[in-house]
Amino acid sequence: MPNPLQDVVVIGAGIIGAAIAYELSRYELSITLLEREVEAGFGTSKANSGIIHGGHHTDTETLKGRLEWWGNQLWDPLCEELGFGFARVGELTIALTESDLGSLDHLIDNAEEKDIADVEMWSREQICAAEPQVTRGVIAGVFSPHTAVVNPYEAVFGLVEAAVANAVQFHPNSPVTGLDYSGDTWTVTTPTATLRSRFVINSAGLGAAAIAKIAGVDGFEIRGRKGEEYLLDKRLRHLVRHVIYPCPTPVSKGTLVIPTYDGTIMVGPTAEAVDDLNDTTTTTSGESKVFAEARRLVPSLSERDIIAQFAGTRATIEGDDFMIGPTEAPGFINVAGIQSPGLTAAPAIARYVADILHRNGLEMTDRSHLNRIERPVHFASLTTDAQRDLAAHDRRYRRIVCRCEFVTEGEVCDAIARGATTIDGLKFRTRAGMGRCQGGFCATNCLELLSSELGIKLSDVTKRGPGSWLVLDRPDGTTPGVSAQDPS
């Protein structure tokens, strides 16, 4: 018996593919979401700066410009529906030289053209009063209250979980190896499945050009642009209140100082053209460049406060705009070249793609009922009374797995039940391993819990998928134990 015909197969479960799958789950459709990595969001999305831009950074004549402000406005209800962390902290783009002032004027003009209210030119005195740690060399700046911060990996997990709750089939570990069109149907092949679908959405990020080529759709090339980010100790959590931007360059918004949703300060990214699309290395030269640029904005920043560093590679295309639309192959839709402000625009991109599908013949009937997902527990953010009540009800919340971030066994087990299968999957869902010791205390506890909850050997637990094993079997095939820290 042939596989049942799907309405849409979405390739790629980063923030864009996840948002598209979630948007389509609102309708009476059969949807499959494919991801080549072991978990959703493990490509570029996990290394995103986590900024929901204010809408005034892109010109109105670009697709980016049209989708950025629309997307910005969709994040509040999305956060309310899915329960991930989100905060409108605002931003300051600051000028350090007279030649920078034209860039500030351009930002104001963009805001006026898009009818974005409350974007203002601020004086040196206003900036220094709002942000005492900003350089005294600042001349002027543009303030926007609309900029927000979010944990991008939390958003991806929430979108995928909500999509699955509304009948979307999610297949991780499923790289696409074949795409063939016959009649009015696409056959999509992975190492473990063969799917049939009316439409295919190519939201494969860095792999989008390769997927298009498999489908017989040429015409664009993905160019990698690597960005290194540096996360600082939580003791600096009140160093700045707003996202601090320099005046932008032609290829980047520059090196930023970012107060993340969880309280840590992050500085970065770089913007380095790379030939290897899988290059996620951090470098001494990148670190030096990031801190040299960041100290121009906030002089007190120091490399001594780094607790973690990482890099992600953005998928850029010629022209540097988004490529979203149908192709010469019937039913095959590209969603490619989604670099900044892709995270900001993601909910708008999803609606834009849904409209393309509708205009190309897909019937869109609203679901009569949408299943809601429960918000995950963040024990550290609860009141003392709420913590006591939860611990009295479930003993797992009495046991601390990660001391740096005060993560409990209950949270880790819940994250596994929600789909975490790796150490990094737990880290991104619970913050276990994100603190000062970077997993020195909690990694063994997380290993044991993944092994016991998933019913697998310790040697089958990985950090982030195949090739990242943490425990190896002995030559005789037996698996050694680990000396777990006491989680009490």
Residues with active-site annotation: 53
Which of these, 182, 168, 133, lies nearest to 371 by C-alpha position? 168
**Helix 423-430 with 409-417: angle, nearest 10 deg:** 110
* Residues 417 and 394: beta-carbon distance below 8 Å: no
Rounded Cα distance, 444 and 424, in Å:
13
Listing DSSP states for 321-344 in one string gives: S-EEEE-SSTTEEEEE---TTHHH
Q: Furthest-apart CA pair in the chain: how many Å?
A: 73
Dihedral pair phi/psi, residue 129, rounded to 5°: -70, -40
Rounded Cα distance, 17 and 13, in Å:
5
Q: What is the DSSP secondary structure assignment for residue 45, as one 8-state letter?
A: G
Helices in 245-316 by DSSP H: which ranges?
284-297
Rounded Cα distance, 182 and 250, in Å:
43
What three-state secondary structure class fits 454? helix
